[in-house]
Structure 1
Amino acid sequence: MSKPLPLWRRLLRGLAIVLALLVLLVLSGLLLADHLTPQARGETSHVLPVQPTQTRIDREVSALQAAHPGASGVAFLSDGLDAFAARAVITERAERSLDLQYYMWKDDLIGHLMARALHDAAERGVRVRILLDDMNAQDKDALMMALDTHPNIEIRLYNPFRNRNGPWRMVEMVQRFFSVNHRMHNKSWIADGRVAIVGGRNIGEEYFSARPDVNFRDLDLLVAGEAVGQANTVFDDYWNSEAAVPIAALAFHTRQELRLLMRESDNEARLESARPYLQEVAKSRQRAMASAAPLHWSANVRIVSDPPMKHRRDDPQNWLVSDLVQMLTASQHKALLISPYFVPGNEGLDGLTRLSERGVQVGVVTNSLAANDVVAVHGGYMTYRAPLLQAGVQLYELKAHGKAPSSGLFGSSGASLHTKAFVLDDRHGFVGSFNLDPRSAYLNTEMGVIFDDPVLAAQLTAEYLRLSSPQQSWWLALDPRDRVRWLEREPPPHWVDTEPDSSLRLRTSARVISWLPLESQL
């Protein structure tokens, strides 16, 4: 009778089997990725042609463009209420089409109110197309499928999972580890092909100041005029790409779900938490173009994006990161950057160092550890702080005001900063979805607005100065031993020698992650 194997050898054998299965899953995904993803393709469709006077928005924009030929009107939407009202009112005024693409649409008060607005537009005969990334959509199938039942609404998912929930979804995630890691991070809301809202906000309560426990700072631009044609082209390219699959091909739905969603939205509209948003919409109805601020018209505005198939066959020279790096390296005297997730990598560190050595003022506002909702990203960022400070880069980390929820290891609801923007030499700028990290550069698709205009640059600089102010941020410096420390500039001024307002557990997690080879995924 053979002697049983020691426990440690049995455990080692079991671990080897598990690892072998994981490797086989990943290899099968690499070999069969195109056959593992849903092959359903929706019918090709394009933006409906704009008309001079067909809709109210046509008439408003045509009159404004006649006074500013060849230009685009831009308004900053930094306040959550204003950003909600702008979307709601251009949706109310739309009479021809609504085209939306988002990374995340939450099943909450804001998500329901906006779903109701889209349903009401569809009831008026407006064609509604919604393209959503599928990474965060599995729990929202009921919400999205309910909307998709309307004959004037079609929803497609970008790079979707075949398995909608349960353990098989996790198996598919492992099997398609490399292909599923590429996500659509774009955010745009286009009405009648004439007005677009582009920026950093997803659709959810925390992005529109509707959650008292979250201190989000975010930014969108409302754009009317010439540049909106570029947003239309971007949307059509994504909508008709191989990566976009109709949600109807992935999940079952009924008309009853749509009726239940509309009843739930009506009930939520009566809640006290909804009142400020509906009141702001009522006030915004009196404003031209539903703008929260006067439109500034400029001939040098572009809406830009990564190609939809960035992760497969596209030339990296066509990626958005190439345009943004070219802009940054051309800076002559000032480069002010805002990024919630800031992991410059060695290449970015070298680039910012060279700028500083040329005498360019380089400043960065990002999240502190206590304010960051992704500890892993902070772990990737923290190793670059000392070299950046040694190079003369000015670093500011946003404070975590109040008692936000604890950050999760790879994501939670406690983030403070979500704005993604930069302003260069008091005239060039970018506002969009692009974080200054490897994921935005090489994995996700991103989009945004690029401008060359001193008035718009002044507005964006004011936002940077507000975020980097003593009331909002810590200022970072090195002590005589080149260790990072934080200056509280509000009275009484004092230095802090550890990550401010963070627990030992959080600091330990970030430090351990900084040692792991995860940077390319952050």
Structure 2
Amino acid sequence: MEAALRQSPFLVLLLLCLWACSGPVTFPQPPERIASGQTKAPPDAPLVIVSDRLTRGHPGQTGVYPVTSAHNALAVRLAVIRAARSSIDIQYFIFRHDETGLLLTRELLRAAERGVRVRFLLDDFTTGDAGKLLLALQRHPNIQIRLFNPFPHRGPRTLELLADFRRLHRRMHNKSFTADGRVTFIGGRNLSNKYFGFDSKEHFGDLDLIAIGAVVPEITRQFDIYWNSHYSFPVQSVIHERLDPERQRQFSAELLRKAEKFLTSDYGRSLLKSPVIKTLSHNANLWYWGPAHALFDPPRKVAQPPGTEGGFAGSELMRRITGARRQLIIISPYLLPGEHYLQQLIAAAERGVEVYILTNSLASSDVIFVHGAYRKYRRPLLEAGVHLYELSSALKYKLDSWHGESRSLLHAKLFAVDGQWLYVGSFNLDQRSILLNTELGLMIKSPQLTEMVSKNLITNVHKNAYQLLLRNNRIVWRRSDGAELHREPDTNWLQRMGSRLSGWLPLESLL
């Protein structure tokens, strides 16, 4: 889960007390809603024509293409929205009222104007300043918005969280974006400037897979399950703010004006020139093909006691990971496997599996409590022979971020097993993903893609991350130039002390 629930030490301690002492969780009853499912796009829809042509030679398979560029990740979403003719289904944890959020809102409204049905399912934990955008979208008859596991929205967010912590700290972390039932985006990226390379302070290095073919109906099915679930509420039944017609008109006009202005910036103009969609739509050989399936938790996971068995996606994913025979690559911004999976990783390394792990350093982490809890895992992993790397915050992603001085943070979630299987999705290797939140990802068997990812990581990680080693029973950080550092790189004493002290707190089950 993102940083919002993890920042304040006083808040977290109070939440922990409430969590331990409160009674059984109770979920509110949603208002009466009309269930809906997938619509069929017409045969002459652009996305239908393109996907049919690309998949013709790959019956029963899924084609995927990895999008690592933050800029291209927004460009391809815009292109797909503009090409949609029947439906757009969006499911995310974060959606912000910022430049990229305004632009996406504008494009969704334009799609609705030409008759596209838009369904937008957003987790309610971080709606915050996006409330007006959501209400502006909801006013269009072709747009429906629902909030998952909503807050009351009647008082300060922190007080509402404290009052009903057992329910409200369980969140939908799934991320999907599907158009016309033919093209979908799966990965770790949320919808805000930080994830699209347009934030002056932070840049989240992330990964999406564009997918076509056999797996897309599975993604649309899981969307319908969540959309129609007991935990999804129409936005107008949750957010009680209402604008009078004149203020609504002014807000809508301002929204369009700001979006248009953004499109005239260098960044905005470059979005329209991105070659990714045009290139991919004409060449099936650029896609990676193979059998694939969607791994997703049922919505009811948020109502189950932590650790309950019940067909949850994390269990299947962890079985695949811990069953590696030759090589295992883990990229996870938060690394809190718990004692059970720690021992599984150690056992894999001890039986000869080459285990590579990339996670955030203290300098690149956005949550000091997570890093404090993670510290205790480093030594046993290194002693077992695991290749452990931490991202350097000095990496500026200059080719991808339009603010070259923004701090780099790792946000991608990827698991590669034995050069055969690759997982990309929302799942972090931490207790929150394993036990508390719902997650969604795509698992594909593609030796070509998995080997490419594996080779790229092993080749490039030395340039962009510190390798952790044991020297005289102490952890050192090796830079790409071979120099070895004896304390957390690029940090000050206050950060290091905060990480050390937070590691003593009994918070890991919430992180």
1:180-259 equivalence runs, <5 A: 180-251=168-239, 252-254=241-243, 256-257=247-248
1:443 is aligned to 436
Identity among equivalent positions (%) equals 35
Alignment of 1:141-180 (within 5 A): 141-166=131-156, 169-180=157-168
Contact 2:88 2:177 in 1 (8 A): yes
Secondary structure at the aligned position of 2:125 is classed as coil
Q: Write the distance in 1 (CA, Å) between the matches of 2:370 and 2:20.
A: 28
What do residues 378-437 of structure 1 show as CA deviations (whole Å, max 9, x unaligned)?
Answer: 011011101110011111000011799xxxxxxxx9551001001111111100110000
- The residue type equivalent to 1:445 in the other structure is T
Report the CA distance shift for 1:262/1:285 in structure 2 as closer, same or farther (over 3 A). Answer: farther
Cα distance in 1, alignment partners of residues 163 and 142 from structure 2:
36
> Which of 506, 509, 516 is the matching residue for 2:498?
509
1:350 to 1:458, Cα distance in 2 relative to 1, 3 A: same
Name the structure 2 match of 1:478. Answer: 470
In structure 2, give the amino acid aligned to 1:423. A
**Alpha-carbon distance in 1 for matches of 2:272, 2:138:** 25
Deviations along 1:35-91, one digit per CA (max 9) or x if unpaired, are xx363243110111345x141111221222222211111111000111111100010
Q: Say whether the 8 Å CA contact 1:200–1:418 is kept in structure 2.
A: yes
CA offsets per residue over residues 98-124 of structure 1, 9 Å max, x none? 000000001111111111111110111
1:466–1:472 Cα contact (<8 Å) kept: no
Secondary structure, in 3 states, of the residue corresponding to 2:47?
Answer: helix
**CA distance, structure 2, for counterparts of residue 291 and residue 140 of structure 1:** 37
SS in 2 for 1:33: coil
**Where does residue 478 of structure 2 map in the other structure?**
487
Corresponding residue SS for 2:488: coil
AA paired with 1:420?
K
Partner SS for 1:422: strand
**Structure 1 residues without counterparts, runs of 5 or longer:** 1-20, 405-412
TM-score, structure 2 as length reference: 0.89
User: Which residue identity lines up with residue 124 of structure 1 in the other structure?
Assistant: R
Q: Specify the SS of the correspondent of 1:178.
A: helix
TM-aligned CA deviation for residue 293 of structure 1: 9.8
Cα deviation for residue 268 of structure 1 reads 4.0
Q: Paired residue for 1:40?
A: 31
Structure 1 counterpart of 2:374: 381
Letter in 1 for 2:495: L
Query: For the structure 1 residues 395 and 260, does the alpha-carbon distance in structure 2 shift closer, same or farther, using more than 3 Å as the test?
Result: same
Q: Secondary structure at the match of 2:54?
A: helix
> Superposition pairs for residues 81-480 of structure 1, below 5 Å?
81-166=71-156, 169-251=157-239, 252-254=241-243, 256-257=247-248, 260-271=251-262, 274-284=265-275, 287=278, 295-313=286-304, 316-401=309-394, 416-465=409-458, 468-469=461-462, 471-480=463-472
Distance 1:379 1:84 in 2: 33
State the 1:313 CA deviation.
5.0
Partners of 2:17 and 2:468 in 1: CA distance:
46
| CA RMSD across the alignment | 2.7
Q: Distance in 2 between matches of 1:268 and 1:317?
A: 44
Alpha-carbon spacing, 1:458–1:274, altered in 2? closer, same or farther (3 Å):
farther
Q: Aligned partners of 1:385, 1:457: CA distance in 2, in Å?
A: 26
Counterparts in 2 of 1:4-19, with a 5 A limit? none
Larger Rg: 1
Q: Per-residue deviation at 1:302?
A: 1.5
1:22 positional shift: 9.5
CA spacing shift, 1:118–1:414, aligned 2, 3 Å: same
- Alignment match, 2:69: 79
TM norm structure 1:
0.87
| More off after superposition, 257-266 vs 332-341 | 257-266
Q: CA deviation at 1:311?
A: 2.3
Alpha-carbon spacing, 1:115–1:291, altered in 2? closer, same or farther (3 Å): farther
Contact residue 84 and residue 277 of structure 1 kept, 8 A: no
Whole-angstrom CA distance in 2 between matches of 1:372 and 1:140 = 25
Q: Which stretch of structure 1 is more off in the superposition, 453-462 or 177-186? A: 453-462
The residue type paired with residue 267 of structure 1 is K
**Structure 2 unaligned spans of 5+:** 1-13, 398-405
Matches of 2:115 and 2:270, distance apart in 1: 26
Structure 1 pair 276–304 and aligned structure 2 pair: CA distance change class (3 A): same
Q: Which residue in the other structure is 2:3 paired with?
A: none
Query: How far, CA to CA, are the matches of 1:212 and 1:290 in structure 2?
Result: 33
Q: How many Å separate the matches in 1 of 2:106 and 2:187?
A: 22
